Amino acid sequence: MNRIDKELVEGLHHVTLVTSSERVNRIFYTEVMGLRRVKLSVNQDDILHRHLFYGDEKGSSGSVITFFEWPHLVSGRHGLGSPHHLAYAVKSIEALRKWAEWLKRNSVPVSGPHIVGDRASIYIRDPDGFLLELAAETGGEVDAAVLREIFAEEVEVDRITPDMRLSLMDHASPIATDSTLLERFLSKTLGLRRVATRENPHDPSSPILGFGSGDQDFLRYILKPSAQMGFVGIGNIHHIAVRVKGEEEQREVMSVLNSIGIRHSGIIDRFWFKSLYFRDPFGNLLEVATEGPGYTVDEPPESLGEKLILPPWLEPERRRIEEALRLLDERYPAKWPPTYRPAPEKPERVE
Ligand SMILES: [Fe+2]
Ligand SMILES: [Fe+2]
């Protein structure tokens, strides 16, 4: 097979970043962002460092943001190979307004609201400096003036209310330099279509190219022909995983990659799902992950993420791993609350 000719990718599965501190990261993503930790484990390719997973109550695929804890790294920089930002979907403009208030209350500087295409968005930086967007669909009915009015209204928010809960990622935004190459690559290898091309209000020379299936464009590449290489470090996306049903679909993607000579990892059993990794032509690391079996395969749903879980093949190493993690915490003590860097005034712009 030399191309995928059907809609095989269903959306995002998870997005993985790099953090400097398990403790600061946990407090921020659970208490400030209201996600649940759904797995506490180690990086299977670097077993003496943690891998943290946060998502909705069940850890549904499409809701999960994960982190490799690598406190010894330097901060990264977005660019080619190091994606720009990630957006979570917020259910309504009113909920977005409440988020802005809640974040300010937690001393997190907020940029926005902004209108980007069909979304109203606010942007923040997490404690490691990663740019995170919260985006609500406008249905095309809300312009900047209406949005400003809504945001000018006083609102009292002393907790994350049910309507504010984050349960789905909206899009991830890597950077590309060539739209023709990008379109051919994503269509051939993943069967993704260019669903929309949007003007970038923060940089008219860098349109936002939305790729997806159905009418959802969950990969919103920022096209910047002059983009420089970035590098992945603390506060950056390490890789973006899209979701397929099962291993059969993964094997289809693998056979296309083989037929066009693109290096890949082969299918790797991650225990909670299976993974296949490869890079797009701009150096961004992509993963194709299976829907299941999911995070409840080795822990009861009511206590997900509470204790260190190792896949069965790492269980014999548990003592060595726990000791290494303890030393890591001692060596890199964490500080809460963090000092947040403000999000840029023009957040969708590639610097
Ligand atoms: Fe965005
Ligand atoms: Fe992954």
Q: What are the boundaries of each domain within the chain?
A: 11-172+230-331
- Cα–ligand 2 centroid distance for 45 (angstroms): 11
Average pLDDT, the chain: 96
349 CA distance to ligand 1 centroid (A)? 10
pLDDT (tens digit per residue) in 214-244: 889 999 999 999 999 999 999 999 999 999 9
Ligand nearest to the CA of 240: 2
pLDDT above 90: residue 136:
yes
Q: What is the CA radius of gyration of the chain?
A: 20
**Higher model confidence: residue 142 or residue 212?**
212
For residue 122, how far is its CA from the centre of ligand 1 (angstroms)?
10
Distance 64 CA to ligand 2 centre (A): 10
**Predicted pLDDT at 39:** 97
Tell me, in angstroms, the distance from the centre of ligand 2 to residue 15's CA: 7
pTM: 0.98
Check whether 131 has a pLDDT greater than 90.
yes
Residue 121 Cα to ligand 1 middle (Å): 8
**Whether the Cβ atoms of residue 52 and residue 66 lie closer than 8 Å to each other:** yes
| Chain segment 159-209, per-residue pLDDT in tens | 999 999 999 999 999 999 999 999 999 999 999 999 999 999 999 999 999
Kindly give the distance from the C-alpha atom of residue 217 to the centroid of ligand 2, in angstroms, as a whole number: 20
- pLDDT reading at 1 higher than 80: no
Residues 314-335 have pLDDT tens digits of 999 999 999 999 999 999 999 9
Q: Is the dihedral of CA 268, 274, 280, 284 positive or negative?
A: negative
Q: How many residues does the chain have?
A: 351
How many whole angstroms from 11 Cα to the centroid of ligand 1? Answer: 16
Rounded to the nearest angstrom, the gap between the alpha carbon of residue 249 and the centroid of all alpha carbons in its chain is 22
pLDDT class of 68 with cuts at 50, 70, 90: very high
296 alpha carbon – ligand 1 mean position (Å): 31
pLDDT at residue 351, as a whole number = 87
Instruction: Summarize pLDDT for 37-63 with one digit per residue, the tens.
Output: 999 999 999 999 999 999 999 999 999
| CA 106 – ligand 2 centroid, Å | 29
* Ligand lying nearest the CA atom of residue 39: 2
Sign of CA dihedral 240, 347, 122, 177: negative
CA 31 to ligand 2 center in whole angstroms: 24
Residue 309 pLDDT exceeds 90:
yes
Measured from the alpha carbon of residue 120, the closest ligand is 1
| pLDDT tens by residue, 198-218 | 999 999 999 999 999 988 999
What percent of the chain has pLDDT above 70? Answer: 100
Point out which residues pair with 39 in neighbouring strands. 53
> Average of pLDDT values for 261-284?
97
The Å distance, Cα 265 to ligand 1 centre, comes to 29
**Residue 51 alpha carbon to ligand 2 centre in Å:** 10
pLDDT confidence band for 140 (50 / 70 / 90): confident
Give me ligand 2 centre to Cα 225, in Å: 28
Closest ligand relative to 88 C-alpha = 1
User: In the CATH hierarchy, which fold is given to the domain comprising 11-172+230-331?
Assistant: 2,3-Dihydroxybiphenyl 1,2-Dioxygenase; domain 1 (3.10.180)
Contacts by 40-47, CB closer than 8 A, 24 or more apart: 40/305, 40/306, 40/307, 40/308, 40/309, 41/308, 41/309, 41/310, 41/311, 42/308, 42/310, 42/314, 42/321, 42/325, 43/68, 44/268, 44/270, 44/311, 44/314, 47/314, 47/317, 47/321
